[in-house]
Structure formats: structure tokens, C-alpha cells
């Protein structure tokens, strides 16, 4: 008995510690995401109530050089007291993503917007200002913007942000820059119309030059997740503590008969438990905060404030718990408790109802999270198994020197040149946008998934590591193919299938078999491999098929690539990205997603087993004499416990019907989910029954 009581207390403390950890982690993650969102979209935060318009300004159209255009904008802003914002993205000399915000404003400040270790202020209207704000900069003129999570300061996935006075833009432009995209802000629509008139008078602009801007809504932190976690914590504690009180019925009844008041009994029975719950929760939160943040500063006050709010909600939940337990203790009849050790079956049915409701609330987000975790695990497995293409680390893209006003012929010429560079450098071309059936947006319920054929476009260099066999089983030598060719999986021959792209019938088609799936080196892609796609082998440049830049073309030798592009006349007109950092980041993210899924599953299992533990305990207390007699008479296991098993597993059947009929979750997903957790509960149920038979049956027969 005492061992069971201690076990329930330990379960409650462990569960409280887990929830305290999750709540703090959630607050920490939400703050980091919101903080970076504000930094990246500062104009929506600082100018949320102002009118905004965007415009392209060309130096050539206004007979100016770029430095002259910037000086002209500075003078215009001073004369009209305008607010100007120009953002430029690039890769720095360490190949990190950088986003530079150039601002003219007489009122702009960073209070409650970004956090730094310095108290000095920067003027965004002073042409002599040499300082600026930046994330992760070693420049002596930079005032460093603080971030808590290094992911937001590496320049791998999230750009390194900086905020500079407008005049510093002259030091950031390159010789080939020809235009600017500028945002202008005014207090109201009338002031904005006046500003547009002034801009059209000063620059070569018309009304059509101004672009409407869709605002990104200011970030707001949500506390819903933490509230849900605390509610779950309180519900589970109610279940555990009612079971704990039921085990002490005789003690409670005796104390009542001796004249103890209900509040005295409650203080004696659960007072220490409540105190230790608060201590466990507080210590967990403090230790987690110290590890993740480790400082008290204006920035960390945001996290501390949210933790305090969650802690207050937690304490209110404990007060609610104490109120419920008080009335429960008051309800207990001393006479009934002394005459028999059973408890009212109303508790068993209440447990069942709460369990069904909680499972119904959890099942949809749980299936969604399990799906994410499964995809993350599949990506991890395939990336580790088929990582042979990771030697091609580098991708290339154009820069701002290639104007967005460039004509179609010029654009095609650039793509053709880059394709020649790709072939010369023995890089790989991988177009996987239609590589998986799940991404096929034109499929209908009537179409079988088996009839949809995915599609990829690659070059010879990519296919060298793959065995492709023709219908006779002979390996095809890709070097012997001199024209664009489509390889179609043999399983589609003679069948009606839906291609994910419109195939050019003039291209030769060959039915083949592939030895293994095709690996997509784009780490950002949702799926790492493509099973049995049609494969277009591109040997000749065709603008409708080939875009040999960005995330479709990958190279292994960056120095040779730079030499080739310079020889072709593209010096300072390209940007090379080392994707190894992005690859490492996403691999960690996949691992983190999978770990989170495992944690949520374990938490869900823990909650369900707590419900089961209490239900089985209450039920067995009610029928233990009947079970003991059947045990002596030699009744089989199912004969003794069929009612108990059916009663405790019935919520899963109800849940399955509700999930499919009401929540509209696909039957296969819901059935698999229910079957797995039902199997876990059956194992735990059998364990509890065996434990009961080992300890309780003999005690009942002895009259205890």
C-alpha cells in the first residue's frame, strides 16, 4: 500500500518536472521566433499605423550615379521629413546571409524592439553617423544586437540583420548596381499623396511606379500552448491525488471520527504534496531558464514575465486542485469507508469520461505531430543513407547587378551560359519540384496514387552513380546518349498514368528499371528521395527544362567554378553559396523534430497510463472480492477480467468512431493511432492485473 502511494507521488512529481521543462522551452522558443520576426520585419512593428508605399528608383533613368541617387534621397528625406527604408540582401565574405536595412528617419529608435549591451543611440538622420546596429558583427563601429539562440546569428538559415543610416548605403553598393527598391512612410493618406507628388517632381516616376504593400502582421506571442500544458498537468494531478486519497480512506475516516476538521485532514494528507509540487515546478523552471538564458537583462525580462504568468496560472491550478480535493474529502463517508474498502464506481465512470474527452482533444494534433516526426525520421534516414551527393556543396545565383528589368532573351542567354559552366565543371543538375506523388496538386479522389508518375530532370553527371537497365536488363551507358531523353519506369508500360508534367512527345522515351531511389541534394526539400519517377536526362540546353542556378545546380570545386564564370564574363555578377551549413542546420532540425515527436508520444502515453492506472485501481477495489473467489475457483483470466478489460479499452473504440466520423481523420491514420496505443494499454493493463493478483488476492482471502 505504502509503495503504491509513494509511486503515485513520484509519478506526479516527475510529470510536474516534465511539464515545467516543456513550458519553459516553449516560452524560450516563442520569444526567439517572435524577436527575430520583429528584427526581420521591423517596419511592420515600428510603422504599423503609418501609410507605406514602395518604389523602384533607377540611377540611369534619373541621369545619376548610384552615390548621387543616395545623396539625392538623403536630401529629399531631409527636406520633406520623410521616413525611408531600403533593405538589401547579400552573402558576405564568409558566405553568410546578410540583410542590411538602410534607414533615414529623424524619429526612429530601437527601444523595446532590439536589445544591445550598450546604452549609446544611433542617429538615422545624421550624415556623419558612423555607427550602426548589427547581429554578430566584429566591426568596431557596430553596436551588437543581442540574440539568445545562435541559430539566429549564424547567417546560415536566418540572415544576419543590421540597421544603418541611409548615407552608409554608399559604402555598400557595387559598381554594377543600377537601382534601388525604397519604402516611404507617412502619417496618413493625405501626407502620402503629397509625398508621391514630390517624388514624381524630383525623379523620373509616374503614378504607376508606386507599389501597394501587403503588411506582415506584427508578431504576437501566444500563451495557448502553455495554458494547455498546465490544464493537462492539473487534470493528471487530480487523477493521481484522488487515487492517493482513496488509498488513505481508513485514515481519513478515523480522523473524521476523532473530530478532525476537513481542512485539517486535507492539510495533513496533501499539504506536503502541494508544497513539493510548487518546489519541483519552480526548481525545474529556474534550472531550465539558467541553462537556456543564463542572465538577467532587459531581454530576459520578456521570458521571465511569461514564466511568471505561467507560474501564476499553475498556482491557480493547484488552488483549484485543492478545492476539488477538499470537497472530495468532505464527501467521503466515514462509516462507509470503515465498513468496506471499496470506492464509488462513479469515480470510475468519471475517469472514463475525462479520458475520452482528453483523447478526443489530443488525437488530431497528435496524429499531425506523429506525421511530422515520421517525415523527419525518413529524411534523416535517407539523408544519411544516400548522402553521396553531398560532395556537391556549392550552388550559384545571380546578384543585383543583373537587373530585374532584364529582357527574356538576355535571361535565356545567362541560363545557357550557366548550363555550359555546369557541364564544364562536372556539376549536377537536379530539378525535383515534381519528384513525389504527394505534391501532385491535380490529383483527385478518383485517381489512384499508383497511376500518378512523379518526374525529375537531371544531367549526365548526376546519373553516373545510378544503374539504369533497359527492358532487356542491360545497363544503359548514359555517356552514349547524345540527345535529351526520358527514362520511364517499366511498371508504367501499357498502363494509363498521369504524368506530373506535360511531357514533350518529340523526346525519345525509354522504358527502364532503376536500382534505387533518386536522391535530392536540396536539403530544404520536404522529401529526400524520389521513388520510380520519370527521368528527363538533359544533354542539350533547353530554357523550358533547365534553370541551372539557385537550388537546382550544385558544384564540387568552388575555385574552378569562379575561374570559369570570370572567363565567361560574369565576374562580380554571381553569388556562390556553401550549402554545408544549411545541410547541418536542417539535419539538426529533423533530429529535433523527431525528438520532439518522441517526447510528445511519451507524454501522451504517460497521461493515458495514469488514467488507466487510476481506473484499474478503482475498478479492482470495487470487485476484488469477486475476483479473489473466481481465482480460487480456477476461472480463466478472461472469465475473471473480461468486464474490466472491455470497460477500460472501450474509449479507444469510441475515439476511433469519433475521429473518423466527427473529426474527419482518415480511417487508416486513426485506426493505426488507436491500435498502437490500445496495444500499449493492454500490456500495462495485464501488468497491473498480475501485480494485483500477486499482492491483493492473498490479502482479501485473509480478510484484510
Q: Is residue 271 very low, low, confident or very high in pLDDT (cuts 50, 70, 90)?
A: confident
Q: How many CA atoms lie less than 13 Å away from 532 in the CB half-sphere?
A: 14
Q: Please tell me the least confidently modeled range out of 159-163, 508-512, 526-530, 584-588.
A: 584-588
Q: pLDDT per residue over 465-498, tens digit each?
A: 899 999 999 999 998 998 889 999 998 887 777 7
Question: For the residues 185-193, what does the mean pLDDT come to?
Answer: 88
Specify the 3-state DSSP secondary structure of 322: helix
Q: pLDDT per residue over 135-157, tens digit each?
A: 877 778 888 888 888 777 777 66
pLDDT above 80 (res 8)? no
Q: pLDDT per residue over 553-611, tens digit each?
A: 888 888 898 898 888 888 777 778 788 877 887 888 889 889 888 888 887 788 788 77
Output the nine-digit C-alpha cell for 324: 476539488
Which string of DSSP letters, residue by residue, matches 419-454? HHHHHHTT-EEEEEEE--GGG-TT--TTS-GGGEE-
Q: Is residue 34 very low, low, confident or very high in pLDDT (cuts 50, 70, 90)?
A: confident
Is the pTM here over 0.75, yes or no? Answer: no
For residue 703, the 8-state DSSP code is: T
Q: Please tell me the least confidently modeled range out of 94-103, 359-368, 437-446.
A: 437-446
* Residue 667 Cα distances to 247, 371, 658, 671, angstroms: 41, 15, 11, 6
pLDDT above 80 (res 646)? yes
Question: For the residues 367-378, what does the mean pLDDT come to?
Answer: 84
What pLDDT is stored for residue 388 in this prediction? 64
Q: Are 199 and 57 in contact (CB under 8 A)?
A: no
pLDDT above 90 (res 513)? yes
Q: Please tell me the least confidently modeled range out of 78-82, 398-402, 498-502, 695-699.
A: 398-402
Residue positions counted in the chain = 704
Burial (CB count within 10 angstroms: exposed 0-12, middle 13-18, buried 19+), residue 534: buried
Output the nine-digit C-alpha cell for 429: 543538375
Q: Is residue 74 very low, low, confident or very high in pLDDT (cuts 50, 70, 90)?
A: very high
Q: Are 681 and 648 in contact (CB under 8 A)?
A: yes
What pLDDT is stored for residue 147 in this prediction? 86
What pLDDT is stored for residue 652 in this prediction? 80
* Residue 609 Cα distances to 13, 77, 480, 670, 683, angstroms: 16, 66, 63, 19, 10
Distance in angstroms (rounded) separating the CA atoms of residues 447 and 547: 31
CB atoms within 10 A of CB 516: 12
Q: Please tell me the least confidently modeled range out of 253-267, 453-467, 473-487, 517-531.
A: 253-267
Q: Is residue 56 very low, low, confident or very high in pLDDT (cuts 50, 70, 90)?
A: confident
Q: Is residue 650 very low, low, confident or very high in pLDDT (cuts 50, 70, 90)?
A: confident
What pLDDT is stored for residue 264 in this prediction? 79
Output the nine-digit C-alpha cell for 104: 533615414
Q: Is residue 289 very low, low, confident or very high in pLDDT (cuts 50, 70, 90)?
A: very high
pLDDT above 60 (res 540)? yes
Q: Please tell me the least confidently modeled range out of 17-31, 173-187, 593-607, 687-701.
A: 687-701
Distance in angstroms (rounded) separating the CA atoms of residues 596 and 388: 28
For residue 216, the 8-state DSSP code is: P
Torsion angles phi and psi, residue 153, rounded to 5:
-130, 10
Distance in angstroms (rounded) separating the CA atoms of residues 631 and 48: 74
Distance in angstroms (rounded) separating the CA atoms of residues 259 and 256: 5
Q: pLDDT per residue over 223-245, tens digit each?
A: 455 666 667 767 777 766 776 67
Q: Is residue 333 very low, low, confident or very high in pLDDT (cuts 50, 70, 90)?
A: very low
Burial (CB count within 10 angstroms: exposed 0-12, middle 13-18, buried 19+), residue 561: buried
Pairing of strands 452-453, 529-530: unpaired
Q: Which of 575, 572, 494, 501 is nearest to 533 (CA)?
A: 501
Torsion angles phi and psi, residue 617, rounded to 5:
-60, -50
What pLDDT is stored for residue 444 in this prediction? 45
Distance in angstroms (rounded) separating the CA atoms of residues 383 and 454: 20
Distance in angstroms (rounded) separating the CA atoms of residues 656 and 679: 14
Torsion angles phi and psi, residue 180, rounded to 5:
-130, 145
Output the nine-digit C-alpha cell for 462: 548526376
Which value, in Å, is the radius of gyration of the alpha carbons in the chain? 34
Q: pLDDT per residue over 619-628, tens digit each?
A: 777 777 777 7
pLDDT above 90 (res 285)? yes
Mean pLDDT of the chain: 79
Give the distance, in angstroms, between the CA of residue 690 and the centroid of all CA atoms in the same chain.
42
| Segments in 203-261 forming alpha helices (H) | 224-246, 249-257
Residues in contact with 644: Cβ distance below 8 Å, sequence separation at least 6, in sequence order: 616, 619, 620, 623, 685, 689
Output the nine-digit C-alpha cell for 312: 501564476
Q: pLDDT per residue over 200-214, tens digit each?
A: 999 988 888 888 766
Which residue pairs, CB below 8 angstroms and at least 24 apart, start in 583-591? 583/390, 583/393, 583/523, 584/156, 585/151, 585/154, 585/156, 585/157, 586/157, 586/523, 586/524, 587/380, 587/383, 587/523, 589/376, 590/376, 590/377, 590/379, 590/380, 590/383, 591/376, 591/380
Amino acid at each position: 500500500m505504502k509503495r503504491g502511494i509513494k509511486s503515485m507521488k513520484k509519478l506526479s512529481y516527475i510529470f510536474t518536472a516534465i511539464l515545467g521543462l516543456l513550458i519553459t522551452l516553449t516560452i524560450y522558443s516563442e520569444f526567439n521566433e517572435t524577436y527575430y520576426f520583429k528584427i526581420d520585419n521591423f517596419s511592420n512593428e515600428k510603422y504599423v499605423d503609418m501609410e507605406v508605399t514602395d518604389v523602384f528608383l533607377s540611377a540611369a533613368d534619373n541621369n545619376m550615379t548610384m552615390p548621387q541617387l543616395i545623396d539625392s534621397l538623403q536630401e529629399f528625406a531631409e527636406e520633406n521629413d520623410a521616413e525611408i527604408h531600403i533593405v538589401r540582401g547579400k552573402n558576405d565574405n564568409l558566405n553568410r546571409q546578410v540583410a542590411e536595412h538602410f534607414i533615414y528617419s529623424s524619429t526612429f529608435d530601437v527601444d523595446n524592439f532590439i536589445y544591445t549591451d550598450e546604452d549609446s543611440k544611433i542617429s538615422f538622420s545624421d550624415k556623419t553617423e558612423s555607427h550602426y546596429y548589427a547581429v554578430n558583427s566584429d566591426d568596431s563601429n557596430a553596436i551588437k544586437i543581442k540574440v539568445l539562440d545562435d541559430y539566429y546569428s549564424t547567417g546560415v538559415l536566418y540572415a544576419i540583420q543590421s540597421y544603418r543610416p541611409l548615407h552608409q548605403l554608399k559604402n555598400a553598393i557595387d559598381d554594377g548596381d543600377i537601382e534601388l527598391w525604397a519604402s516611404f512612410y507617412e502619417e496618413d493618406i493625405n501626407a502620402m499623396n503629397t509625398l508621391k507628388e514630390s517624388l514624381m517632381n524630383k525623379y523620373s516616376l509616374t503614378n504607376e511606379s508606386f507599389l501597394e504593400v501587403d503588411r506582415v502582421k506584427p508578431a504576437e506571442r501566444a500563451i495557448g500552448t502553455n495554458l494547455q500544458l498546465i490544464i493537462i498537468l492539473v487534470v493528471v494531478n487530480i487523477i493521481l491525488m484522488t487515487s492517493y486519497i482513496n488509498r488513505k480512506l481508513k485514515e481519513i475516516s478515523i480522523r473524521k471520527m476523532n473530530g478532525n476538521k476537513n481542512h485539517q485532514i486535507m492539510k495533513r494528507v496533501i499539504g506536503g504534496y502541494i508544497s513539493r509540487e510548487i518546489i519541483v515546478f519552480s526548481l525545474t523552471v529556474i534550472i531550465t531558464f539558467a541553462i537556456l538564458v543564463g542572465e538577467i537583462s532587459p531581454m530576459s525580462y520578456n521570458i521571465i514575465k511569461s514564466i511568471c504568468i505561467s507560474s501564476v496560472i499553475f498556482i491557480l491550478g493547484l488552488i483549484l486542485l485543492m478545492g476539488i480535493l477538499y470537497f472530495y474529502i468532505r464527501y467521503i463517508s466515514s462509516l462507509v469507508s470503515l465498513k468496506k474498502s471499496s470506492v464509488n464506481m462513479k469515480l470510475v465512470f468519471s475517469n472514463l469520461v475525462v479520458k475520452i474527452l482528453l483523447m478526443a482533444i489530443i488525437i488530431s494534433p497528435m496524429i499531425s505531430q506523429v506525421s511530422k516526426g515520421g517525415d523527419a525520421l525518413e529524411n534523416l534516414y535517407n539523408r544519411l543513407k544516400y548522402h553521396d551527393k553531398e560532395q556537391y556543396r556549392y550552388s550559384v545565383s545571380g546578384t543585383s547587378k543583373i537587373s530585374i528589368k532584364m529582357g527574356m532573351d538576355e535571361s535565356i542567354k545567362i541560363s545557357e551560359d550557366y548550363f555550359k559552366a555546369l557541364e564544364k565543371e562536372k556539376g549536377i543538375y537536379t530539378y525535383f519540384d515534381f519528384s513525389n506523388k504527394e505534391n501532385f496538386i491535380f490529383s483527385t479522389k478518383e485517381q489512384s496514387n499508383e497511376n500518378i508518375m512523379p518526374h525529375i530532370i537531371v544531367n549526365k553527371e548526376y546519373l553516373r552513380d545510378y544503374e539504369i537497365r533497359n527492358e532487356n536488363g542491360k545497363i544503359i551507358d548514359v555517356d552514349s546518349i547524345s540527345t535529351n531523353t526520358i527514362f520511364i519506369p517499366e511498371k508504367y508500360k501499357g498502363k494509363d498514368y498521369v504524368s506530373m508534367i506535360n511531357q514533350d512527345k518529340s523526346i525519345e522515351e525509354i522504358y527502364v528499371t532503376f536500382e534505387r531511389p533518386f536522391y535530392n541534394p536540396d536539403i530544404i526539400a520536404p522529401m529526400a528521395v524520389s521513388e520510380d519517377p520519370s527521368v528527363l536526362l538533359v544533354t542539350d540546353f533547353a530554357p523550358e527544362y533547365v534553370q541551372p542556378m539557385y537550388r537546382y545546380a550544385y558544384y564540387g570545386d568552388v575555385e574552378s567554378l569562379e575561374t570559369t564564370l570570370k572567363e565567361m564574363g560574369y565576374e562580380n555578377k554571381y553569388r556562390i553559396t556553401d550549402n554545408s551549413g544549411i545541410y547541418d542546420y536542417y539535419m539538426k532540425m529533423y533530429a529535433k523534430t523527431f525528438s520532439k515527436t518522441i517526447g510528445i508520444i511519451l507524454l501522451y502515453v504517460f497521461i493515458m497510463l495514469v488514467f488507466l492506472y487510476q481506473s484499474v485501481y478503482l475498478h479492482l477495489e470495487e470487485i476484488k472480492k469477486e475476483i479473489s473467489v473466481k481465482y480460487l475457483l480456477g476461472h480463466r483470466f478472461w472469465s475473471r477480467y473480461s468486464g474490466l478489460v472491455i470497460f477500460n479499452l472501450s474509449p479507444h473504440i469510441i475515439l476511433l468512431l469519433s475521429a473518423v466520423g466527427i473529426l474527419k481523420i482518415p480511417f487508416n491514420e486513426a485506426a493505426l493511432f488507436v491500435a498502437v496505443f490500445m496495444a500499449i494499454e493492454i500490456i500495462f493493463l495485464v501488468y497491473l492485473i498480475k501485480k494485483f493478483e500477486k499482492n491483493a488476492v492473498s490479502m482479501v482471502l485473509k480478510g484484510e
